[in-house]
Each structure stands twice: as C-alpha cells, then as structure tokens.
Structure 1
Amino acid sequence: MAKREYIQRHLLIIKRLKKRPSSFDDLHSYLLQQQELTNENYDISQRTFQRDIKDIYTIFGIEIKFNKSERKYEIIEEDFEKEYDRIFESFETLSAINISNHIGKKMILERKANKGTEHLHGLLYAIDNEYLVKFQHQSYWKDEPTNRKVQPLLIKEAQHRWYLVCWDVEKSEIRNFGLDRISNLDITQKKGRKMDIDLSEFYHHAVGIETYEKAEKVVLVCSSYQAQYLKSLPIHPSQKIQKETKDKCYFELFVHPTNEFIMEVFKYNNTLEVKEPKWLRIEIKNRVQDMMKSYK
C-alpha cells in the first residue's frame, strides 16, 4: 500500500475516534465512505486495524483503547493533543485538492515566502536522536549570516512561521531561529546533552514565540459585534469571557504581554481595547500617540 494511503488511513481513524467512540464495523463503514470520496483504498481487516492501533501510538503518541463494556474503540481525551488538529486540517485540504480537477480555478491560496519547511525532516531527525546541528542564520538586523551550533529541542509554529527552539551551545541558553532564515544545515553525529526542560510549559502562555515578559492576566474589551469574531478565533487558548453586557464583551487572558501580543491587539485597530494591566494600557496608548505623529 502507498505510504500516503497508509498515513491518510491513520488520520481518518484518529479523526473518527476523536469525534466519538466506534466499533470496528462503524470504523470500517466510515473508511469505505471516505474511500468513495477520495478514490483511495482504505479497506482494512480487523487484523490490519490492530496493527494500525499500534502504529498510531508509535507515530503520533495517541493511544486507542477498547472499551469492553461499550464494545467500542475510543481515544481518551487527555491522551489527545490539540496540536493534531492542524494535521487533520492539512490532510483534509490535501484530500480535497487530490480529488478535484483544475484546482487553481476553485481555490485561491495565499502567496507566501519560503517558510524553511525543507529543514523540518532533518531537524526532527536531530531532535529524535539528540544530535547537534550547525547552520548559518541570517538575522533581519545584520548584513551577514552568523554560524550557529545548537542542540535542536522543538519545532514551533508561530504567526504562520516555523521556528527551531534549541539550546545554543556557544551562548548556553535557549534560543529560537526562524527556519526561513536558516541555510547550510549540517546534522552532525555528535550527541548533545540531556535536557530536562518542559518546552510545552515554557510556551504555554506565549502568543507567538516571545516569552520575555512575565505572564499575567490581561483584560480586553470590545463591542458585542466584534466579540463574535474573537469568540470564534481566540487570541490565545487561555481566553475566556470575563463578563458580557448588551453592548460590550470583556475577555480575560493569561499571557506574556510581549510585542507579539501587542501587535495582535493592534490588528483589531480601535475595535479592541486593553483594560488591564495598567502598564500595558499605557504602553498601547504611547504607541498610538507615536503612530499619530507619523501621520501629521
């Protein structure tokens, strides 16, 4: 079987079980329905499905369990990471493209510069094997690229860009580098050191890639009309409604109020107001006043 069908079948099984527990017969029927839509071969036996369960755990770290009382397979919610939603989104987009002719006449894709995704495979390999890597990094603020030697720890997406989070050997600190500005990547065979760092927790309160400000409660207010958009597309996972009136909606977040966060607030122009903390409200006000000077 083609590797593409193999992976797509795994993602379909995960997608189905994420929605609701299912028996093998239910899963099998679902796969056959998808097969008709995509012209791929998703027909499997009970034996193949058992192998898929093991492979899904090995590849994705998602454990599928059989509930004996219900006679159904299920994914325990705490075992399922929300980051996989992006994988499913990409898979569904790819599937739609695969089964449609002349896609250019039916979909307009945003034109974006190189994201450095050609480095993903090598960097993930280095992370798995704890290998040090060398590369050149072109900063926005320097004319010439600099040579870097790092231990890759994590790949993070932020603001539609991919970043390598790593331990910088020379500076002895955690750094991040945009993959689109990395060149001459060299994966060495030299092992790095054991790193006892919970990077998921490190970025838990981040909006983007920056964490230099201490995480704290931020309160934003907007009109009830604008709130509908923010409810459907939260600025941060911690976002929740603090209170709501007929005309206004107050959102509470717990984030690092860095420049990236401020730029996210500015994206909404005058429809979104910072209420707390006071220092951030003043910072926003000062930036707005500086902006007005530029338009005199």
Structure 2
Amino acid sequence: MLQNKISRQLLIINILLDNQDGISKNELVSFIEKKFELLNQNFKYLDLAFKRDLKELREDFGLDIPYSKKHKIYTLNDYTINDSRIELLLNSFKIFSSLVNSSGLPEYIIPEKRKSNGIENFSILTEAINKKSIIEFYYFKYDINVTETKTVKPFALKESKNRWYLIGFYENTQEFRTFGLDRINNVTLTVRTYKKSPSITEINDYFRDSFAMFTDEKTEFVKLGFDIRDGNYIKSYPIHTSQQINFIEKENRYEVTLNIKITLDFIMELLSRSWSIEVIEPLHLRKKLASIFQEALKRNK
C-alpha cells in the first residue's frame, strides 16, 4: 500500500536522524517491523522493498543514504530539512506515531481552536492539479466583501503563516495568482484541461523573497533591532529564509538582517514585535512604522 510505503520511508528518515553515527540494516529493518506491529499490521520488510525505498528517497527527495561496507551501517550525512515537503510529512508523522498506542485523541493533546482553513478542498484541488484540469470556484474577497466566480489553471498548493493557498493562472493569462483555501467554495473540475504548467522551481523562485503570499513589491535590504527576549524568539523561529541574526553583546540586543519584499503582511509581522522593534534600515520602513504607531497612539489615548 502507498500509505505503508510513505510510512516506511518516513521511519527510515526518523531513525537515521536519531542515529547520526549510523545504524545497521538489521536494526533499521527490525525497528520498522516493530512499528508496524504497533499498528496491528503484520509486515515483513523484504530486502527488495527496502532497496526500493532507499532508491525512491534518493530520486524523489534527493536524500542520499550511503552504506559503509567497512562499518556495515547506513547514515544520513550532512542532513538538514531543506525540503518543506519532507518537513510537513515528518511533523505529521511524528504526531501520528506518538498517538499510535492511544485510543482516539488523548485529552492531554490540546489542539488550537481554529475556524476552517480550507483543508476540505485539498482532495479536489490536488486531483485538478494532477489532471491539469481547469477549475471554477466561488472566491470571497476580504477587501471588498464580495464573492466572485474564478476560473483558474491550478498549479500548486502552498502553506504560509498557517494558511494554505492555491497557486495558478487565470485561464487566459500567464501571471501567478494566489487564492486562500479558506475563501474558496464550490470547486468544480471543468472538462477543459491545460498542457503546460510552470515548474515548482519557477513557483518557489517567484515567492522566494516574499513574506507570506504578497509579491507586489521589490526586494530590499532590511535591518532590524530587537531586545534579547524578542530576539531569542526570532532566532528560534526566523521571520524569513534570508534572515541573518547577530547578538550585540555590549548592547544586550539582537540585530536581524533580511532580503525581503516589504509588503503589508511583512509590516503586520513587524508590528507584532512592536514591544521592542527598532527599524534601522530602510528609512521609508522606519517612517511607515512610526506613522502607524502615532496613529495607534491617538486612537488608544
């Protein structure tokens, strides 16, 4: 089963991450078989399936898992999670694995209470992307409080700030558009299809310097200052992939530099750190935040 194959491959990655010095094939196979026993699945990890899993991890995710004939161990050398697909699968799988012996969801697991984020549309949207089907749906626009009908060529699904977005083109254009899944309703696959879609590399490059999903600004160099508390939060959970952070010991504070597009979403992120933020560069961003703070002060006197 496909589910079992994915589970095996994620288990291999997990085990190798937990055994940085390497692990023998027998230990790997035994560990995975025992995991499937916990799921009440009678599974024998045959050599052919094991080799195929390693091959697919290398081809699909670019993970090379070398085998040392001298030490008779497998390793995952110099590994960092630089593929968000692997990270998404691993995080979900770790949660699932930790609950495998529980009956239902234990009361000590307390998920955040959130309204729908559009995940119910995942299945039909992934089907449309796989089939290259043009889709139609109703889309609610927050800025004008109106629902519109959209006709879109769907290319990818992207997560940003705990929300999921559909990326595509309008039917007769070649310009990227994004649609929040939480605002999409009544998705319909039409009988029309499209032939060519941009590569995932092109899509990632388009959003590379963006914060969240807005892309309508130029990339700029930004330097920010934070106190030690906010700086530690930002160090553990970076604002953006371009982030560089340095601790200024004599001033007991952090300096953060970014190469990023200064969009409304980015400004809102900075405002969430208003407790300690100082905008050092660029000047126009410093003036923008100062103006927002001044207006807020007037409203909240």
Task: Name the CA shift for 1:189/1:47 in 2 (closer, same or farther; >3 Å).
Answer: same
Residue in structure 2 matching 1:203, options 200, 207, 230: 207
**Aligned match of 1:268:** 273
**Residues 79, 115 of structure 1: CA spacing in aligned structure 2 closer, same or farther, 3 A cutoff?**
closer
Q: Offset of 1:224 from its aligned partner?
A: 2.5
- Tell me which residue corresponds to 2:83: 81
Residue in structure 2 matched with residue 10 of structure 1 by the alignment: 9
Instruction: Tell me if structure 2 keeps the 8 A contact 1:163–1:178.
Output: yes
User: What is the percent sequence identity of the aligned residues?
Assistant: 28
CA distance in 1, matches of 2:271, 2:42: 48
Q: Which residue of structure 2 lines up, in the alignment, with residue 123 of structure 1?
A: 125
Partner of 1:277: 282
- Amino acid in the other structure paired with 1:52: D
Deviation, structure 1 residue 78: 8.9
Per-residue displacement from partner, 1:204-256 (whole Å, max 9, x unpaired)? 11221111111111111112233222111111121112452231111111111
Specify the alignment match of 2:111 in structure 1: 109
Q: State how 1:200-239 maps to structure 2 within 5 Å.
A: 200-239=204-243
Contact kept, 8 Å, 1:9 with 1:42, in 2: the verdict is no
Contact between 1:165 and 1:177, CA under 8 Å: does it hold in 2?
Answer: yes
Amino acid at match of 1:44: Y
The aligned residue for residue 48 of structure 2 is 47
Partner in structure 1 of residue 180 of structure 2: 178
Does residue 159 of structure 2 align to residue 157 of structure 1? yes
Inter-CA distance 143–232: structure 2 relative to 1 (3 Å threshold): closer
Q: Deviation per CA, 1:147-205, whole angstroms, max 9, x where unpaired?
A: 11111111111111110011012565321111111111112232224244601111111
Paired AA for residue 110 in structure 2? I
State how far apart, in whole Å, the 2-side matches of 1:215 and 1:40 are.
51
Q: Is the 8 A contact 1:5 1:41 kept in 2?
A: no
Q: CA deviation at 1:65?
A: 4.9
Q: Do the aligned partners of 2:81 and 2:87 also contact (CA within 8 Å) in 1?
A: no
8 Å CA contact 2:230–2:273 kept in 1: the answer is no
Q: What is the SS of the residue equivalent to 2:99?
A: helix
Q: Which deviates more, 65-74 or 84-93? A: 65-74
Distance change >3 Å, CA 195–CA 97, structure 1 → 2: same
Q: Give distance in 2, aligned partners of 1:294 and 1:86.
A: 41
Distance 1:100 1:191, change over 3 A: same
| Preserved CA contact (<8 Å) 1:131 1:190 | yes
SS in 1 for 2:176: strand
1:289 corresponds in structure 2 to 294
Equivalent residue for 1:240? 244
- Which whole-Å deviations, capped at 9, do the CAs of 1:23-68 have from their partners, x for residues lacking one? 422321432454576655564121221233355567x544545446
TM-score (norm: length of structure 1): 0.86
Give 1:234's aligned amino acid: P
Q: 1:109 to 1:78 in 2, by over 3 A?
A: closer
* Count of matched residue positions in the alignment of Structure 1 and Structure 2: 294
| Cα-Cα RMSD | 2.8
Helix, strand or coil at the partner of 1:249: strand
Q: In the superposition, relative to structure 1, how do residues 262 and 141 fare at CA in structure 2: closer, same or farther (>3 Å)?
A: closer
- Contact persistence 2:166–2:181 (CA under 8 A): yes
2:99 maps to 97
Partner of 1:255 in structure 2? 260
What's the CA shift string for 1:110-136, capped at 9, x where partnerless?
011111112212222222332211111
Mapped to 2, the partners of 1:225 and 1:48 lie a distance apart of 49
Q: Is the 8 A contact 1:222 1:273 kept in 2?
A: yes
Deviation at 1:285, TM superposition (A): 0.7
Q: Which amino acid letter does the alignment assign opposite residue 124 of structure 1? A: T
Distance verdict in 2 for CA 1:74–1:126, change over 3 Å:
farther
Aligned to 2:98, the other structure's residue is in SS state: helix
- Report if the CA contact (8 A) 1:64-1:73 is conserved: no
